[in-house]
Structure 1
Amino acid sequence: MAPPLRLHAVAFISPLNHPILIRSFSQVKGDELKYHYIAHTSLDVIEERIASSNKSTECYLGFLYAMEDSAVYGYITPLKVKIVLALALSDSVIRDADITMIFRAFYNAYYQSLANPFLRLDAPQDSITDHSALLSQGSSKWKGFRRRVDDVARAVGAVVTTDERD
């Protein structure tokens, strides 16, 4: 039996490399800045993988790199939104199928939130390709998305603390 995965953080990054949501599931207070750093440094690796890859249909980018106690994995959606997972490093083998399933669940959470017809009420016309104007982390319209992300994280086994913004 495979050991359970421990999810440290998930980051959603817009097509123009603006953070949409960076959610940390770590119990340590100072780790939020660390996961912002991990999300931003993974963008360089993601861009390299996209440029060197001939397969434009492959969303799963695989293992990107390891940093301290985290293994970082990447995924790019058909909408060019990048999803970055930081998992706890372990000595056991992590199957790509398990990671892909987690990415698809996070992508479905993003897609369901974006499909909300009331989300774009105050959106400028030029924000069709970059949703970061709509999806700012403090936006009250984005509570449903954070809730869906937390539900996926709970299913993976992360300990989700309630946020004062929720």
Structure 2
Amino acid sequence: ALDVVEERLEALGAAGGKEKDKDCYLGELLPLEDGAVHGYVTPTWATLLLVLRDGAVAGNGSEGGVQGDARRRLRALHGAYAKAMAAPLGGGHSGAGWAPGGW
């Protein structure tokens, strides 16, 4: 999947689009037997990959379908990542339940 990320980024660079016009969501990168890998590259070049199994889409048939659901989940993950990087010593994560699953 990381090879596909590089290919997509090279294609975006070759297209000559402005940096602010580029969407961080790269779309479905790799189809799997029972799902797909979706990619997202942050403005600071952190690469986020999300594996969604078939049938794991929130709201089945809601606006945007699988692509929209993957985009929303990756944006939320990017927000959590940015928050963690802003407070690397854990200042923003006090109390139980800050992590997925409460661990």
Which of the five TM-score ranges fits, normalised by the shorter chain? 0.5 to 0.7
Paired amino acid for 2:68: A
> What is the rounded CA distance, in whole Å, between the counterparts of 1:115 and 1:46 in structure 2?
25
CA root-mean-square deviation: 2.4
2:50 alignment partner, SS class: strand
Q: Is the Cα–Cα contact under 8 Å of residues 75 and 103 in structure 1 kept in the other structure? A: yes
| Mapped partners of 2:71, 2:99: distance in 1 | 15
Deviations 1:90-127 (A, max 9, x none): 4x7624332221111100100111101x53xxxxxxxx
Q: Shift in Å at residue 149 of structure 1? A: 5.3
Alpha-carbon offset, residue 79 of structure 1: 1.0
Cα distance change on mapping 1:149 and 1:73 into 2, 3 Å? farther
Query: Which position in structure 1 is the counterpart of 2:41?
Result: 76
Deviation, structure 1 residue 148: 4.8
- Aligned counterparts, 1:54-65, within 5 A: 54=15, 55=17, 56=19, 57-65=22-30
TM-score by length of 2: 0.67
1:10-58 C-alpha deviation (Å, 9 max, x unpaired): xxxxxxxxxxxxxxxxxxxxxxxxxxxxxxxx11010000001134422
Please list every run of at least 4 consecutive aligned residues from structure 1 whose deviation after the TM superposition is greater than 3 angstroms: none
- Indicate the structure whose relative CO is greater, using CA pairs within 8 Å and at least 6 residues apart: 1
**3-state SS in 2 of match to 1:49:** helix
Residue 40 of structure 2 aligns with an amino acid whose one-letter code is Y
Q: Please, what TM-score do these two structures have when normalized by structure 1?
A: 0.44
Change (3 A) 1:47 1:149: farther
**Partner Cα distance (1:49, 1:80) in 2:** 13
Gaps of 5+ in 1: 1-41, 120-140, 151-159
3-state secondary structure, aligned to 1:72: strand
In 2, distance between residues paired with 1:76 and 1:83? 6
**Which secondary structure does the structure 2 equivalent of 1:58 belong to?**
coil
Tell me the matched-pair count: 85
Structure 2: give runs of 5+ residues left out of the alignment: none
